[in-house]
A = this chain, B = another copy of it.
Amino acid sequence: MKNIDHSAVRIRDGFWKQKQELVRNVTAKAVYDRFSDTGRFAALKCSWKPGDEPEPHIFWDSDVAKWLEGVAYLLQEAPAPELYSLARAAIDDILSSQEADTGYYNCYYLTHPDAPRLTQRGNHELYCLGHLIEGAVAWYAATGERDFMDAMAKYADYVEKCFKTERTAGFVTPGHPELELALVRLANATGERRYMELAKFFIDEHGVDKREGFGALCDWANDIYNMDEKPLRERDTIDGHSVRAFYLLSAVADIAAEYDDGELAAAARRCFDNAAFKRMYITGGFGSSHIGEAFTGDHDLPNRTAYTETCASIAMAFFARRMQKLETDSAFADAIERVLYNGALSGLSLDGRAFFYENPLEIDPDFNHVEPATKIPPHYPITQRLEVFGCSCCPPNVVRLLPAVGDYLYGLDGDTVYVHQYADSEAAFDGVSITQTTRYPADGAVKIRVFGAKKLALRIPGWCESFTLSVPYTMYRGYAVADVTDGAEIELLLAMPVVTMAAHTRVHADAGRIAVMRGPVVYCMEGVDNGKELFSLKLAADAVFEEEDSSVCFAENAPLLPVLKTTVTRRSAPDALYSPARAVVSEDVPARFIPYFAFANRGETEMQVWVLEK
């Protein structure tokens, strides 16, 4: 199945339009400003000298590159002169500082001539190049200006020489995957097959040659951290650093599709299944521990010390979208929907200016949020959003995700148009034009009108237990497939009641607990609405919920979704460490649930997704 690019899709109104406008009007410039404050843009000129502050960092280029990619997507949708000028100036700085003979570019290494290049696997040079390529490809598509892409292609040629042709580099595969998937995009944008070959080379070398370790972490983690303990085509599980794993698997899916490599495709599918069905938080968060920013084991999903980096959820969307090329299965779009509405979106504040790096499923400001066993704290505060981080990968990832959310709506397989995601929108591609009129996910009614297609395949979301479709259909791999005639309106009605959810009985952390969902959106409780010690409240599985407009909680940018009122039981135990259970006093109290993605927008307060079941 072919994925339809967001450039063919226009979000018209509703939930995602609100978020896209926020990025256009606030977030893109806010991230630029913070990156300027912290020296990231100035560093592009590569004029740093010892003693200057701040000193460029090995991964700063990637932060800027992702921001450039996001700005390109905004420009593709509509003009934005200020953002264009800022971006173009940054690109000019990169191009004028690039090494003339090799094409090499890195704002750290070009200002630190004594630091040996392409020698330390963990030092992010190839990661930065990957993001620069993605930014350059996007810039070319948006503006037609090809110089940035050509310049990065030259650097890619140099990498090909050092890593593949002459093998003079100090390691074999990128320590932080990203270049692999970027090379696929570069190959497609330039038509140069050898970039695809280079991407395949890196995929094939993974887990084969381990002569260079990662270096920074303890030994136990080295190989698994990089999913490098065995060849990728032999993998059954997703392991190690969660963002890196998904970036790498995105390229695995690309290469499997490009080379029609069934063995590699099967490995990618096994890893997807392991991620989605054994190691995924209900929020679409991934990575159970901030030690190594990593996956741990099946069903190990601790809530308070969850790592669940914003980038990991975003990267799952990248991976799952590519899996759609290999196989028709609504599981991929289900995963995408879950991360988009929950674990990815939770990374952005409602005002569009601040971010979370980590998105736990339980917050207790009074409790030590370190990993208890090791006393290692989270990387960044998890009770208050920040405008920029030392390692600020997540903010520009949000900037490039949201303007491109149209990427996830459609697929085309022969004469069948697949509708993966629902959003008020219009699109035109391959002779097809299609409109969706809907308030989704505020409700589950979607009216669709299509021209130029014989069949429509409408995803019936995994969360949906009951739906009606206005035309006859058959089910195929999670999609309701109907014959369509040009211009006829089809109406899909997805029942969207509030549902309490239970986790698999193997998930220790959620045993005896339930979570609240409404459609694809996971809800949570916050202390600001519900008082303290949320983790000892009890909620009945059949609790009745009343919907309220979310403006009762949020003055500005209130999500276009209701908040929920219900009743919970508050339990008070005596002050002793252990007391007879009969001494615990219970009392019914009113409670409010808000969309999980909107947590921590009203000051530092407790938060909880999984509530004890009454």
- Chain A residues within CB distance 8 Å of chain B: 220-221, 224, 276-278, 280, 282, 288-291, 296-297, 299-300, 302, 304-305, 364, 367-368, 370-376, 465, 499-508, 511-515, 533, 535-536, 538, 541-542, 571-573, 575-584, 612-613
Contact = CB atoms under 8 A, between A and B. Distances in A.
A580 B575 CA distance: 35
Contact of A511 (B504, B575, B612): B612
A538 B512 contact: yes
A511 B499 contact: no
Contact of A571 (B224, B376, B505, B578): B505
B582 A278 contact: no
A508 B578 contact: no
A577 B372 contact: no
11 contacts: A288-B373, A289-B374, A300-B372, A304-B508, A367-B508, A374-B374, A500-B580, A500-B581, A504-B576, A504-B578, A511-B612
B373 A502 contact: no
Given A372-B288, A512-B512, A512-B513, A577 B277 contact: yes
A302 B368 CA distance: 14
B573 A296 contact: no
Contact of A573 (B367, B500, B502, B538): B502
A578 B282 contact: yes
A312 to B, nearest CB: 16
Given A535-B511, A580-B499, A373 B504 contact: no
Contacts of A465: 580
A504 B507 CA distance: 23
Contacts of A503: 573, 577-578
A465 B574 CA distance: 14
B302 A372 contact: yes
A220 B374 CA distance: 9
The 4 closest A-B pairs by CB, nearest first: A289-B373, A541-B581, A512-B612, A296-B372
A273 to B, nearest CB: 10
Nearest to A368: B297
